A and B are shown apart, each in its own frame.
Chain A
Amino acid sequence: KAGVTQTPRYLIKTRGQQVTLSCSPISGHRSVSWYQQTPGQGLQFLFEYFSETQRNKGNFPGRFSGRQFSNSRSEMNVSTLELGDSALYLCASSLAQGISADTQYFGPGTRLTVL
């Protein structure tokens, strides 16, 4: 079974631009979560989607948004990019068969550099 895939793997943008990152979960997984990883702040939760609905959201500004499609694939968008948005963006998927959290499997991440 293929793992979580993320595209693109690397991206360079300039301040003020917007970016869309894509995540394909493991086949059969219904939940997709997004995280931002930086050396200074560590791994921070952005949001989680299940059945095309955002179930939970971290403490990030509205410039960060996401969505999930009917096939469970997910995209996240960052508008009006700032230098501080440079980070590794990680996507994780899980089966989400019950009401409790279960094991998340991570993709390799998208390395975003904002110049």
Chain B
Amino acid sequence: GESVGLHLPTLSVQEGDNSIINCAYSNSASDYFIWYKQESGKGPQFIIDIRSNMDKRQGQRVTVLLNKTVKHLSLQIAATQPGDSAVYFCAENTGGFKTIFGAGTRLFVKA
């Protein structure tokens, strides 16, 4: 099966700090990008998305940045809380209704 990477990096932040999770995507033709959060024992939960005609989109406490030149996506979480501890996945879609997920980043929030 297809996947993006096998290594699961870890990010540890202090409660109240801002978190930045990075993702390199694979296909320059991808036109839709999504960030998901997955807590233990649960399915991935949608956080925020962005289409390729934008380079920034903001939600509640979260911001997604898209740099198509270097095929890079980032998720910024403001004032990180203990409840933000989870694995975060970026995902890309090339318009063919086939979503490719990144390997994920584990976020630990220290109280």
Please list the residues of chain A having a beta carbon within 8 angstroms of any beta carbon in chain B: 4, 31, 33, 35-36, 40-46, 48, 50, 55-56, 58-60, 90, 92, 96, 99-109
Contact = CB atoms under 8 A, between A and B. Distances in A.
Interface string B18-58: 00000000000001101010000111111001010000000
A42 B101 CA distance: 8
A90 to B, nearest CB: 5
Contacts of A102: 32
28 contacts: A31-B97, A33-B99, A35-B101, A36-B1, A40-B6, A41-B1, A42-B3, A42-B5, A42-B101, A43-B3, A43-B44, A45-B2, A58-B98, A59-B1, A60-B1, A90-B43, A90-B44, A100-B95, A101-B32, A101-B93, A101-B97, A103-B34, A103-B49, A104-B34, A104-B46, A104-B99, A106-B46, A108-B41
Contacts of B103: 42
A106 B44 contact: yes
Contacts of B97: 31, 33, 48, 50, 55-56, 96, 101
Contacts of A107: 43
Contacts of B98: 45, 48, 56, 58
